[in-house]
Amino acid sequence: MARGSTQGSWMPWLALALAIFLLDQLTKVMILGYYRLGDSTYVTSFFNVVRAHNTGAAFSFLAAASGWQRWLFTGIGIAAAIFIVYLLRSHAGQRLFSFSLACILGGAVGNVVDRLVHGYVVDFIQVHWSNTYYFPAFNVADSAITIGAVCLILDELRRIRRTG
């Protein structure tokens, strides 16, 4: 289907975004209920569950700022969500493109809700190598956003291959 295709309903994509949002919020409620800030549980040789708070963006970008970043990232998240809903309505028939957008939408809204309710994003997934090299903690919303971004790139590469 062409990029401008409007065939298909956008409601299943909103349902996917809602499911991602709900899973994200459920896991965060569990972490907030059972862990104190900094608590960690060893799960495997490369994975821990940890409670962390991120007042910044990805990789704690601007986390040390004075608080204005909360509203900047909330505004960016809300603007992105509105634009994504528009794109979903316009391109619901494009499965990979819409899947990507739904993942990003569910994750973005999950992190926006955290910023509005707590003033920070709750992170709890910690991946590491040999207990030495730690990747920054993340959450279900971050995972969904990453999957959505990768799928958007794949969708664009497929589109270029078809037209080239």
H runs (alpha helix) in the chain: 11-34, 68-90, 95-118, 140-163
* Whether residue 24 lies in the annotated active site: no
* Whether residue 142 lies in the annotated active site: yes
Exactly one of 24, 39, 114, 123 is catalytic; which is it? 123
Q: How many CB atoms lie within 10 A of CB 159?
A: 15
Three-state secondary-structure class, residue 66: coil
The gap between the terminal CA atoms of the chain, to the nearest Å, is: 15
Do 62 and 56 touch, CB atoms closer than 8 A? Answer: yes
Q: How many CB atoms lie within 10 A of CB 122?
A: 25
Across the strands, what pairs with 133?
A: 129
Positions annotated as catalytic residues are 123, 142
